[in-house]
Amino acid sequence: MIFSSDNWAGASAPVSEALTRHASGLVPAYGNDPLTDAVTRRFSQIFERDVAVFFVATGTAANALALSAYARPGGVIFSHQSAHIQVDECGAPEYFTGGGKLRGLPGANGKIDPADLIRLMGEHPDGNPMHGQVSAVSISQATECGTVYRPDEIRALAEAAHARGIPLHMDGARFANAVAFLGLSPAEVTWKAGVDVLSFGATKNGCWCAEAVIFFNPDSALQFAYLRKRAGHLFSKSRFAAAQFEGYLADGHWLANAGHANAMARRLAQGLEAAGNRLAWPVEANEVFPVLSRATIARLRAAGALFYEWPADGVDPDQSAVRLVASFATDPADVDRFVAVAAG
């Protein structure tokens, strides 16, 4: 009953098989190989336009380097206050943007409200060096609360960002889960809604170590190769990152993995609610945040369940919210056992 994180899951079979398939032979290094070119074309097909694609090793690198491509002196980056770039990346966005300031906004269900964004950006007027320059807006898809932005919500934030001449970045560590939940095309929930650059996560959903920074306007990426190299994220054997994406993206495997994880999260949520537990946030992707009694938490841990307690509003002293994360590898039997133990 391991629900600590989808990072705990290994690589899925198609990804592992692709790595093995491309392990032998000699090909050019540093991304100049045919497989990297083929995967780039595949991304362009998925997103229904020509895109610039850069492989990196981690989600933190993807986010920080994507934001660094738009850095300005005294730059300010806006996100939700619970965003990964705010609380879980050890200052990497600030470091790689050359000291960019992060400003977090509150917002229900882990989402930024456009009116709040416009108000906060207004505290940084153009042409006034005393307050710094607006630099970028970043949203998480899915959010840190497990919720998913709809295209109209993304579009409203993109319009607010673009009105100030700055990009909208999407942290897509769980992008596949969001797409699977929405049932829309990847294009509809990214560039067609106004997203300029996407951190396309794959490690949480079946890859071994593969993330990509995707620019929907390739002209915006002309200097990015230098940023990636300087940061130490240019793979010499790029084919191994490309191989993971080949297996991951083939035949809709990435969405099938995400669909299973989402279904397991719904199964968890339904079972826990049926037993009388409330949820801190709606379940839309592959994370569940039930509020449990401390006795229930102790009983689950004694039975071998692994998960983290999580901050949430409106929780009594004898309770705690917990985060349960399902993955492509989650066994339905583990879900049912967890629910049964929780029910007592």
pLDDT 10s digits, 158-188: 999 999 999 999 999 999 999 999 999 999 9
**In the numeric block, which tokens belong to residue 89?**
């990346």
Q: So what's the pLDDT on residue 315?
A: 82
Residues of the chain with pLDDT under 70: none
Q: Where in the chain is the domain with CATH 3.90.1150.10?
A: 254-343
Q: Where in the chain is the domain with CATH 3.40.640.10?
A: 12-251
Q: So what's the pLDDT on residue 312?
A: 87
Q: So what's the pLDDT on residue 288?
A: 98
Q: In the CATH scheme, what is the code of domain 12-251? A: 3.40.640.10
Q: So what's the pLDDT on residue 145?
A: 96
Is the N-terminal amide bond of 295 cis, ω within 30° of 0? Answer: no
**In the numeric block, which tokens belong to residue 174?**
């769980």
> pTM of the predicted model, to two decimals?
0.96
Q: So what's the pLDDT on residue 192?
A: 98
Q: So what's the pLDDT on residue 278?
A: 95
Q: In the CATH scheme, what is the code of domain 254-343? A: 3.90.1150.10
